[in-house]
Chains A and B, each alone.
Chain A
C-alpha cells in the first residue's frame, strides 16, 4: 500500500503547509501589536496626552490637539453619516421599489469602492474649495462619505435578517408601518446594528488619506469646524516620514494609541454585542 501511504502523507504535509500559512498570517498581527508596544509604550505619558507639538527639531511635546481633532472629526463624520446611512438602509430594507433600490444599492457599492484618497479629493473639491481653506468640516465630510455606504449596507443587511413575523405581528395589531418598523424591527436588530456602526467608526478612525488635504493639520489647538486641525493618523504619517528622531518616537506612541483604540472597538463590538439579530 505504498500509494496509500503516499496519499496520506500528502494530506499531512498539506495540513502542515496550510497551518504554516495561518501561523504566518496570525503572527503578523501579534508582531504589529508587539512592535508598537515595544517602541511606543515608553512614550505614552501625560505629556503625550496634554501637550501641544513642539516645532520640528525640538524634543518633547505631545499630541493633545491631534487627539482632540481626531475626536471631533470622527464625531462630526458619524453625526452626518449615521442617520443618512441608517435611513437609507431602512428604505432599502422596508420600503424599496425594485428598480430604484437596485440603483441605490449599486451606487452604494460604487461609493464603497471609492479609494479613500479619492474621497479626499472629492471633499476637497466640495468643501475646501468652497470655503477657501482646510477645515475640520471638510475632513468630517470626507470621512462621512466612507461611513455612509458601510452604514447603508449594514442597516439593510441586519434589518432584512429580522423575520417578517415581527412586522406582521405589529401590523396585525393595527400599528402603522413606520411604527411597526420602529418598535419591532429596529429593536430586534439593535445589537447587530450597533456592532456594525461601531465597526464603521473604528474604520474611519484609522483613515489618513482623506484627511491629508481636507482637515490638513494644525500646530495649535483648534476645535472650530471651520478651521484645519491636527488628527492622530495624519500626525503619525507626518512624524514617521520626517527626519527627526524625537518625532519618530512620538509616531510610535501615537500609532500605539490609535491601534489600541481601533482594536479595542473591534474586539469589544464583536465580542460583547452578538452579531446575530435577536429572534
Chain B
C-alpha cells in the first residue's frame, strides 16, 4: 500500500501502513455499518495483529465503539442494525460463525463495570457454567486462574462468596475482565474500560493488559490518548465513521501522516 500524501481534499480518506510480519488475528475488509437507513461506519478496512494491543482513538461519536461491537456481533442486539463487508477471525468470516461460539472467542469488557448481582465467584464462573467448559470440580481452579490473570485474585481470594457489588469501581471492572477471561477468549475487546475509574485503578488495568497480551489479542477503544500512547502497539484513528489512519503507535503519535490525525492528537479538536 502506498504511503499517502500530506495534502488532502476535504473528503476523509483512510490510510494504512503495512504492519510488520506478525500473524493477523482479525482482518476487516470494507466494513460498512447501518442503523436502519443511517450509515455509521464507512468502508473500514484494517488488520489486527495477534498478541498485540491495538488502540482505537477518536472524538465522541466517531464510530469506534460501534466498530468494536461489530467484532463480537453485539450490535445485533439492536434491531435494525446491518453490517456489510467481511470480518475474518483467523480466516473465518465471523458472520458465518455461530454467534454464541464467536462470543466465546471474542470477549468484551464494557465501559461501565456491569457485574451480575451474584457473588464474585459466580460472576467469574458464569461463562464457564453456561458454556459447560469445565466440570464442577474444576471450577474453583478455573475461577482462580481468571482472577489471577485479571490481577484481582490477591484482593478477593478470601471473599469469593461476597457480592460483586461490595467491590470498588476499579475492582468491579477487573472482575468483569476476569469474567470475560474465564472462557479463554482469543481476542479481548475493551470499550473505554477505565473511563470511569481513578488513575490508580486505571494503571492497574493497564498493567494487566500488558501481561494479558501475551495470551490474548487486545483491542481497546479509548478516549484517552495518553492511555493509547502508553499501552498500545498499534493505534487507529477514527473520525466520523471512517478509519482515517492506522499505524504503529510510536509512529502515529510522533509523525502522523494525516492532518486530521495530527489535529486530533495535538488537541486542535476533541
A interface residues, Cβ below 8 angstroms from B = 1, 3-4, 7-8
Determine whether the beta carbon of A8 is less than 8 Å from that of B132.
no
Determine whether the beta carbon of A3 is less than 8 Å from that of B100.
no
CA distance A7 to B98 in the complex (A): 12
Tell me the smallest distance from the CB of A4 to a CB of chain B, in Å: 6
Q: Top 3 nearest A-B pairs by Cβ distance? A: A3-B132, A4-B100, A4-B98
CA distance A8 to B98 in the complex (A): 11
B interface residues, Cβ below 8 angstroms from A = 98, 100-101, 132
6 new A-B contacts at CB < 8 Å, known A4-B98, A8-B100: A1-B98, A1-B101, A3-B132, A4-B100, A4-B101, A7-B100
Q: Which residues does chain A contribute within 8 Å of B100, judged by CB atoms?
A: 4, 7-8
Tell me the smallest distance from the CB of B22 to a CB of chain A, in Å: 30
Closest residue of chain B to A11 (Cβ to Cβ) is: B100
Closest residue of chain A to B130 (Cβ to Cβ) is: A7
Closest residue of chain A to B104 (Cβ to Cβ) is: A4
Tell me the smallest distance from the CB of A45 to a CB of chain B, in Å: 50
Q: Which residues does chain A contribute within 8 Å of B101, judged by CB atoms?
A: 1, 4
Closest residue of chain A to B98 (Cβ to Cβ) is: A4
CA distance A132 to B105 in the complex (A): 81
CA distance A4 to B132 in the complex (A): 9
Q: Which residues does chain B contribute within 8 Å of A4, judged by CB atoms?
A: 98, 100-101
CA distance A4 to B100 in the complex (A): 8
CA distance A222 to B86 in the complex (A): 79
8 residue pairs from A and B, CB less than 8 Å apart: A1-B98, A1-B101, A3-B132, A4-B98, A4-B100, A4-B101, A7-B100, A8-B100
Q: Which residues does chain B contribute within 8 Å of A1, judged by CB atoms?
A: 98, 101
Tell me the smallest distance from the CB of B31 to a CB of chain A, in Å: 27
Q: Which residues does chain B contribute within 8 Å of A7, judged by CB atoms?
A: 100
CA distance A7 to B132 in the complex (A): 10
Q: Which residues does chain A contribute within 8 Å of B132, judged by CB atoms?
A: 3
